[in-house]
Structure formats: C-alpha cells, structure tokens
Amino acid sequence: MEEILSRRSIRKYTKEIVPPNVIKEILEASMSAPSAGNEQPWQYIIINDRRILDEIPKIHPYSSMLNEASVAILVCCDMKLLKYNDFWVQDLSAATENILIAVQDKGLGAVWLGVYPVEERLKGFQKMFDMPEDIIPFSLIPIGFPAEQKPKENRYNVSRVHYNKW
C-alpha cells in the first residue's frame, strides 16, 4: 500500500544508471498484471541508448525528462496476441501501472507518458523502432534515480464513493 499511496510522477533524475537486474524485476511486475482472458498482449522495448533517448522528444512533445533518464520502457500491444480486441487498452494500462508501482518499490522515479491514441506519436515510435504493423506503442515510462522529491498526497475523496446506487 505504501508504494501505491506514495507514488508520484517524477520527471527529474540523477545520472546514476538503473541496473539491468532492476529493469528485469520491473518487467516481471509488469507482466504479472491482469489481462482479458489472460492474453498478456504486451511487448516491451527497453531504451537505454542515450542517442535514442535524446531523439524521442522530437516525437513526443512532453518527454523532455528523457534527457536525464538513464532508461525508458516503451510498453506496446502485440495485436496478434489478442483474444478480446476491445480490452487491450485496459491490459496495457494495468501493465503500465504495475511498472510505476515496481519503480516506486525500488526507490526509483518514473512518469507515465501517453503514446496511444495520438496518431503522430504512434507513427513516430513505430518508425523510430522499426516496429511490425501489428505492434502498437501504448505508453512510455522514463525511469531513473529521482533528483526530486514530491510529498505524498491524500487523494481519497469520499464524495466519489457510492454504495449500491448513485
């Protein structure tokens, strides 16, 4: 619960490199997300090449923090793996959220950058990474050791809770 309740979007990072074994553990958490019919339609591109990280802001206008991040994970949907076409967005959202929680657990910082459904971003990432046509980039998560601290917020709002009827 502490990781969920204290997780905040972090956009400033130190120069320290996130170790590969930590990325593997974060991916294990992501791949443990629920999915419709247990289809697990995710694919990932791990981006740790500084030249590529520095090029991404040309495609994604809200990704300038990649200039500081040591790594990013591009979460993608493999349309060939779908059993239920209408649920892949929920599947990939759950996988992305698991990344954010795992990052928090590891003492790292991250932010969810939306890719899908913005057409320019979709096409830009597909071209940049030479993706097959049936792979849809969904979210991009820059990850690093935090160079900023954000206080925990209590976002619980009782006025948004309804029991048995509206």
pLDDT tens, per residue, the chain with 166 residues: 999 999 999 999 999 999 999 999 999 999 999 999 999 999 999 999 999 999 999 999 999 999 999 999 999 999 999 999 899 999 999 999 999 999 999 999 999 999 999 999 999 999 999 999 999 999 999 999 999 999 999 999 999 999 999 9
Whole-number Å distance between alpha carbons of 62 and 69: 14
Q: For the whole model, what pTM was predicted?
A: 0.96
Which CATH topology does 2-160 take? NADH Oxidase (3.40.109)
Please name the residue ranges forming H helices in the chain.
2-6, 20-30, 50-55, 88-105, 119-128
Q: Which residues contact 125 (CB under 8 A, 6 or more apart)?
A: 59, 60, 74, 115, 131, 137, 140
Handedness of CA 9, 139, 102, 5 (dihedral sign): positive
